[in-house]
Amino acid sequence: MKSVIDIMKERTSFSFEVFPPKAEQPMEPLLNTLDELYQFDPDFISCTYGAGGSNAGRNVEICKAIADSGHRAVTHFTCIGNTKEKMKAELQAYLDNGVNHILALRGDLPAGWEGTRGDFNYANELVAFIRAEFGDQFTIAMAGDPEKHIQCPTFEEDIAHLKMKQDAGADYIMTQLCFDIEQFKRWVDQIRNAGITLPIDVGVMPVLNKDATIRMALSMNGCSIPRDLAEVISKYYNDPEGFKEAGIDYTVHQLYQFIGEGVEGIHLYALNKSAAVSEILTRSGLRTKAE
Ligand code: FAD
């Protein structure tokens, strides 16, 4: 199966992101969701990796299920609490299970942690390690933050750190959510001026629920809520159904804005919700469900 990078050279790639269920919850609902998502013929599906590897086993199981279905799986992978020896074994297990695409992350630090408590402090070290140990066996994505990583004091420093990941051997950028298209454009100009040339796979967060949208933007990522989204929130503040309707339209509009900016990939955070994703894709006309 060819690399995502080769697809991005030909056209805009299209992908989904899912997350593993909690340990005590059954896998079937997610496996059913995946069956629905396959019908949109995604170029890949990525699966998140819990901080500290808390759900590492389930992450592998899901990535394997995606690969076994004949689709490209991209695993997220973090440095949190990970030793070199453990990482090498886990990375080899991905390859053995047919997973050769990885999003190399530092990971979110669990509450109260000062550092990663692992052998690497930053994602650039992980990217370099994967290249040194596995050569070109993995296609490696790195995270990018169009509104700056929340822990970094300045854009300039954050972009310098992004460049370090490119220099370490990453193949493409997967971005954090960004509702503000004007900020996204400024960031693209800034990273290109800084010599970052890698393809951009933009992460798109569906706008489905008022509280979740506000929480995602403000409390988790420090992302701004632009005027047009603030208007949707105000107008449908006490109307969840109306909000969802307007939010889906907002997301469809965002997809076209990013495509209009010439991004190499669209990565839809599917939130393990196939019905909402299906509605977004049907309204946008970007992908049709196979019968
Ligand atoms: P880094 O690139 O290491 O950056 C972390 C911070 O340190 C930044 O502020 C950066 O500017 C700074 N920095 C980087 N290098 C240096 C250096 N050499 N010296 C000093 N400062 C430096 N988290 C999970 O736990 N699991 C997931 O599955 C997951 N999936 C994600 C998917 C996407 C698409 C994205 C965008 C993020 C995801 N995250 C996930 C969140 C991510 O782990 C956090 O944003 C994390 O806080 C930073 O990860 P990073 O790889 O960007 O780290």
Per-residue pLDDT band for 291 (boundaries 50, 70, 90) equals low
What average pLDDT does the segment 135-140 reach? 98
pLDDT for residue 51 is more than 80: no
Mind listing the pLDDT tens digit for each residue in 212-247? Answer: 999 999 887 789 999 999 999 999 999 999 999 999
Residue 213 phi, psi dihedral angles, 5° rounding: -65, -45
Q: Which residue in the block uniquely carries the two structure tokens 């690399």?
A: 3
Atom of ligand 1 nearest to the CA of 121: 3
* 175, 195, 253 from 169: Cα distances, Å: 17, 14, 33
Contact assessment for residue 72 and residue 44, using Cβ atoms and an 8 Å cutoff = yes
Atom of ligand 1 nearest to the CA of 267: 34
- Beta bridge partner(s), residue 174: 143, 201
**In the chain, where are the structural domains located?**
4-284
Whole-number mean pLDDT of the chain?
A: 95
Q: How many CB atoms lie within 10 A of CB 165?
A: 25
> One of 10, 17, 157, 182 is an active-site residue; which one?
17
Looking at residue 200, its pLDDT comes to 98
Q: Please tell me the distance from the alpha carbon of residue 193 to that of residue 211, in angstroms, as a whole number.
A: 36
Atom of ligand 1 nearest to the CA of 123: 3
What average pLDDT does the segment 68-79 reach? 97
Q: Please tell me the distance from the alpha carbon of residue 236 to that of residue 245, in angstroms, as a whole number.
A: 10
Q: 4-284 belongs to which CATH class?
A: alpha beta
Pocket of ligand 1, candidates 105, 156, 201, 268: which has the most ligand atoms within 8 Å of its Cβ, to mutate? 105
Per-residue pLDDT band for 53 (boundaries 50, 70, 90) equals low
Per-residue pLDDT band for 54 (boundaries 50, 70, 90) equals low
Per-residue pLDDT band for 111 (boundaries 50, 70, 90) equals confident
pTM score? 0.97
> Does the annotation mark 10 as catalytic?
no
Mind listing the pLDDT tens digit for each residue in 144-198? Answer: 999 999 999 999 999 999 999 999 999 999 999 999 999 999 999 999 999 999 9
Q: Whose CA is nearest to atom 9 of ligand 1?
A: 152
Per-residue pLDDT band for 60 (boundaries 50, 70, 90) equals very high
